[in-house]
Amino acid sequence: MRRGRGHGGGGVSASLAALLCCGCVMVLAGAAAAQGPWLPYAYKTLSGDAPRVVAKGGFSGVFPDSSSDAYSFTLMASAAGTTLWCDVQLTKDGVGVCLRDINMDNCTNVAQAYPARKRTYVIDGVRKNGWFALDFTKDELQSVILTQAIWSRTYSFDSVGYSILSVTDLLSIVKQPSVWLNVQHDTFYKEHGLNMRNYIFSIQKRVSVDYISSPELGFLQNISGTVRGKTKLVFSFLDKSLLDHSINRTYGSLLSNLTLIKSIAFGIMVPKTYIWPVTKDNYLQPSTSIVAEAHNAGLEIYASDFANDRIIPYNYSYDPLAEYLNFISDGGFSVDGVLSEHPFTASEAIGCLASLNSSKTDHGEPLVISHNGASGDYPDCTDLAYHSAINDGADVIDCPVQVTSDGVLMCMSSINLLDTTNVQGTTFSSRSSVVPEIQATAGIFTFNLTWDDINSSTLKPKISSPVSDYYLVRNPRYTNQGKFLKLSDFLAIGMDTDLSGVMIIIENAAFVAKSLGIDIVDSVNAALSAAGYDNQTTKQVLIQSKDSAVLVKLKQQKTKCKLVYTLPLGIGDASTSSLEAMKNFANAVVVDRKSVFTLSRAFAIRQNSLVKHLQSAGLAVYAQVFRNEFVSQPLDFFADETVEINYYVQSFNLSGIITDFPKTVRRYKKMPDYMQSIDVGSLYQLLQPFKAQPPSLPPMPTLNASSVEEPPLPPVASRKRDLLRYTNTRLPSLAMGVGIGMFVLLLVLAAIFATKRLKIRKARKMREKFFKRNRGLLLRQLVDKDIAERMIFSLEELEKATNKFDEARILGGGGHGTVYKGILSNQRVVAIKVSRLVVQREIDEFINEVAILSQINHRNVVKLFGCCLETEVPLLVYEFVPNGTLYDHLHVDNPQRPLTWKDRLRIASEVASSLAYLHSAASTSVVHRDIKTSNILLDDRLTAKVSDFGASRGIAIDQSGVTTGIQGTFGYLDPEYYYTRRLTDKSDVYSYGVMLVELLTRTKIMYISPEGVSLVAHFVTSLDQGELNEILDEQVIEEGEEEGKQVAEIAAMCLRMKGEDRPTMRSVEMRLQGLLGSEINTSVIGEGHVNGLNGLTFQGGNANAGDNYCSRRYSIEEEILVSASLER
């Protein structure tokens, strides 16, 4: 067993001492500590002092909670006087230790150190299974190390080997800290013969404790007479509906009796939603009066639950600093302190930003340049995005210029409307085309539509979601809001507002000249002139392009505009020849922000020389694109976008910052004193002694002159070509004129006939080519080669079946394809799936689906009749399932046939049966990989049919899983698979658990609870706290409450974070069939059942599976599922 590295303070964090320091934070720290007149802001706290920063478990947003380095780094990186928080748990021998959760499995490796010592306890009325400190002595815990409790955070520091600290250890490794002890479960420890009161009293004789908090008011009352006068008691509120078991009152009732609390405690701590409530769709509601009420009662009030890498209300635009400021200044009140897992950001907000004034915007460098307007909050390049950018303090707004089919210049972030609008769901979706000069796949481009088409009510903008892979979306209430703008409208906005200037982005100029007959450079110049930019000197015009030929032409025209060259992505340096080439046509360059350092697994491992060499050549440097979402930043910046911005400004003296969120950059520019920059690569270096650093990578490529220099733009093609033209030739007679006319007509008819013949021949050859290629791909995957011949449909047959794919035959579809209703020649009704995208991945998925479904025969799996291989992406022919999807029945208002509880239970059982068959009864185990309610079809009897096997993966019978890329739908995706890339059948079990939650709650997976957590986390927490009825669908409660609770327990077991702790789908199927009271069919494998199920137990992969949930793992009540054999 690896031993902990002891608790010598700051083995890692000592090396971080020079990492981070904020001048204004340090000024605040000294002032706050002295409580003198140096405070930068008149805070509305109870005392008038700056709010206190309380570091939950130290800097637990980076290091394992309550580790020595988490505490040491807090004191180095945050304001002096920051208070260190310790959640106190008691060991068997009565020693208080700092542990994030009462169940040690949530934050340590105890399950590996002591696998046989798992226990079950009832805590606050809820059964919890796991490993608990009271079952171990302090010496025994020396073999246990702390681990990161939040799965989305890096686990690299787990390898350091941090020992569990006692309270006295904490006080010995950090000198003269301010300490806050939180006692969460005094009643529990008292029930098991341990006395928290006596422990607190004993340590107070040896060390100084500034704060003691507890959610048990009875405990605080019990110790109030024994604590020293300096120690402040704070009562912690939990959810309003929960019970404080020490006095048998709900927290909601105590909220209205602050006078009682004041008689015992000095202050209160409340979840931040007590102060700023949040709607179900994650927007702020008006603040409550609780801060004023607490202050009026003479109580300090602290807000909890702050962390930078957590989904916060959309009002904050993913900016954690904006959230802190709303609690300390911007909301019109100040809490007396904040409990944070990222204490540096809290210190930054309190010390550097609370005193900012709203003076006139300073247009000095670095310029704040919008990226498609304020696209972090509104759809790209719309009036809303531009006006928001201006209001948020942008110096420059940008317009990527695109061209419509009628020659109108407009602002659009992409030439492909599929990227930026809802065009796919409109009547314009038929106008797709493939333009190799722009992209290899089909698109619907701005030049496929007129300006009137684009500006019509049919087409709507679509907000960008650059990190949607992480299930982070932007401002959903405004997803399709705003109006598109012509370039002329954009330029008018720029002229009429307080801006430093405008940036015009020109791309695809060669294609536009050659294929559309438009000189976009001259057209932009004409628009600038018409808008009055030629006759003024106050507004700067920047023209940006990645095409050097555009900038060369403007240089030759002696333009007054500033010319900005966009460097390619993924370069780390620029050669001397490329620098000289760029200086010939550009005044400035735009670099990708990730080109300035080399990244490995989100760690910055070294700083590159690119920016230094660009600036040495005399080129101004702008960096793009800065985003607030915490997943977009390297770990070195602590999920704080302001720290990242500061690094670029301080390290490189940038001329401009291009951002989706201008407000964040503007606020940084207003700071009275900038922070010192972090040392990029430090975190990576700190892990090297422990061999825990991510792999090193070779230097990034160097830009060469050949990549910069381009041929001149081609001449502009004629936009109109006349096929026939009358001339002044004298005709000898009318007959000759008629004869010539007839001759021309015959020529035209012959040309049409020949062209048609050529098209038919070409189409036939293409069909033969696609058939040969797709048949080869299919044969390589099929076990039974004859299947490939028996399942083939011709394209002609399917065109007849769908009336040439008539729009009236469309049944539905998603992002990848459209499904048509077809009637074959034998009158069989089928569903035909047609891909919308022609990319290799689509081809592979369609072939994969044929290969998988051709080997499956189960009544609850949609039947594949065959496929057509004569198209670039094969067409799939399925049985027709007439009743839509399970998603439709659950989430569409007033469905034609509402699902009863018995229907839902039966559907759950049928889906479980199909998955059990796929996992264990098929010749090769098949993992579906995309189980969700929209992939469960229902027939006319509401029988479930699992569909869409494009992402499925076969796993050999002798393998437990495979390591592969991530596929699936976020929200349903197994987190263990996501973080480890290890795909097993238990990945389907997790997705199935999410589906059960939807069945039980009739709530969409996108739901965010008022506490800011996902539907799954909210569901499991409700179950764990005995509040299941609050989240269950009313129909479930009315028709089958007891069965619903049992299904909820099954769902929670499926949702365990460790795959090995989840049940098998066979076990789930048997339990659900038991609830249905139906006879188990054990006759044929093809129907998804196996023989020999006597003495059934509900088994997972691990008999000692952990099943608790805090922030890392879900907590559920374990139970025996089947105590007697079921009827056969």
Active site residues: 930
DSSP-based helix, strand, coil % in the chain, nearest 5: 40, 15, 45
**R_g of the chain computed on alpha carbons:** 33
Positive or negative CA dihedral for 917, 922, 925, 928? Answer: negative
Q: Which two tokens stand for residue 1060?
A: 């090995």
What is d(CA 404, CA 393) in angstroms, rounded to the nearest whole number? 31
Residues 1081, 1107: Cα–Cα separation, whole Å: 31
| 567 closest CA partner among 544, 546, 598 | 546
Quote the tokens at residue 313. 């209300």
Q: How far is CA 1017 from CA 271, 997, 1111, in A?
A: 17, 10, 9
Tokens of 3: 């031993």
Q: What is the maximum span of the chain, computed from C-alpha positions, in angstroms? A: 125
Can you tell me whether residue 792 is helix, strand or coil? strand
Handedness of CA 667, 670, 674, 680 (dihedral sign): positive
Containing 485, the helix (H) or strand (E) segment is strand 485-486
Determine how many CB atoms are found less than 10 A away from the CB of residue 608: 20
Cα separation, 233 vs 217, in Å, equals: 10
833 appears as a binding residue in the annotation:
yes
Helices 1015-1024 and 985-1001, interaxial angle, to 10°?
80
User: For residue 222, which phi and psi values (nearest 5 degrees)?
Assistant: -70, -35
The C-alpha angle 951, 952, 954, rounded to 5 degrees, equals: 145
- Distance CA(1027)–CA(252), nearest Å, equals 15
Query: What is the distance between the alpha carbons of residues 861 and 477, in angstroms, rounded to a whole number?
Result: 37
Name the nearest CA neighbour of 410 among 502, 505, 533. Answer: 505
Cα angle for residues 799, 805, 807 (degrees, 5° grid) = 160
Q: Residue 515 half-sphere exposure, CB side, CA atoms within 13 Å?
A: 14
- Phi/psi of residue 338, each to 5°? -130, 140
Amino acid at 320: P
What SS3 string covers 127-152?
EEEECEHHHCCCCHHHHCEECCCCCC
Q: Which residues contact 524 (CB under 8 A, 6 or more apart)?
A: 401, 409, 487, 504, 506, 543
H-helix or E-strand spanning residue 658: strand 656-659
HEC profile of 352-378: HHCCCCCCCCCCCCCEEEEECCECCCC
Please provide residue 661's backbone torsions phi and psi, each rounded to the nearest 5 degrees: -125, 75
Element (H, E) at 1076: helix 1065-1076
Structure tokens at 967: 């596929």
- The two tokens of residue 683 are 């975190």
Angle between helices 662-669 and 320-328 (to 10 degrees): 60
Q: Which H or E run includes 707?
A: helix 705-708
Euclidean distance between the first and final Cα of the chain, in Å?
Answer: 48
694 contacts: CB under 8 Å, gap ≥ 6: 156, 600, 601, 602, 603, 605, 684
Which of 658, 664, 594 lies closest to 621, judged by CA? 658
Annotated binding site: 833
Annotated binding site for ATP: 833
